[in-house]
A = this chain, B = another copy of it.
């Protein structure tokens, strides 16, 4: 079973998720700067979720690139990841509409945590299928980002009890960790590709 359709379907779902969130953005009630400012928090949470989906797309792109082929279990592990990501618009919207109240911020963090776990499960399925000596296992290495993120999410969930915005800050930290390019992995990807061509 080859991986083209898995890529195409995932691209489709991620493209839709990243785009429909903008449908949730309510237009300011009046044509004034003041009204625009009042939707600014909504705009920021849209930006955060956009960046999150972008990170997932980016990492998914790299990960599947290094995989050889897929089986039924991997297809479902991928759908499981897409399920949690598809809930981002819902949890983002609730967080917004509540004005960043505690419970919705916790729910948003829980959604992020579930997506991170689903990503890890997908990654492990791919590595198991390809073997420990495969390109993916070596590229990922010790995977400090993948292992640290859930811990920061958990810390964020805890911090919500003190103040919801502390939770949001923790979620933002995870996004920043992933945004900073990981030169090591990227070089590995390039090398793996060159080896394949030789």
Interface residues of A (CB under 8 A from B): 1-2, 5, 7-9, 11-20, 22-23, 25, 27-28, 30-33, 36, 47, 50, 54, 57-58, 61-62, 65, 71-73, 75-76, 79, 82-83, 86-87, 89-90, 93-94, 97-98, 101-104, 107, 179, 181, 186, 189-190, 193
Chain B residue numbers with a CB within 8 Å of A17 are 19
The reply to whether A11 and B9 form a contact with Cβ atoms under 8 Å apart is: yes
Chain B residue numbers with a CB within 8 Å of A76 are 54, 58, 179
A73 to B, closest residue via Cβ = B181
Chain B residue numbers with a CB within 8 Å of A13 are 15, 18-19
* CB-CB under 8 A for A89 and B22, given A1-B189, A72-B181, A181-B72: yes
| 5 closest Cβ pairs, A-B complex | A12-B15, A31-B101, A31-B98, A16-B19, A72-B181
A8 to B, closest residue via Cβ = B11
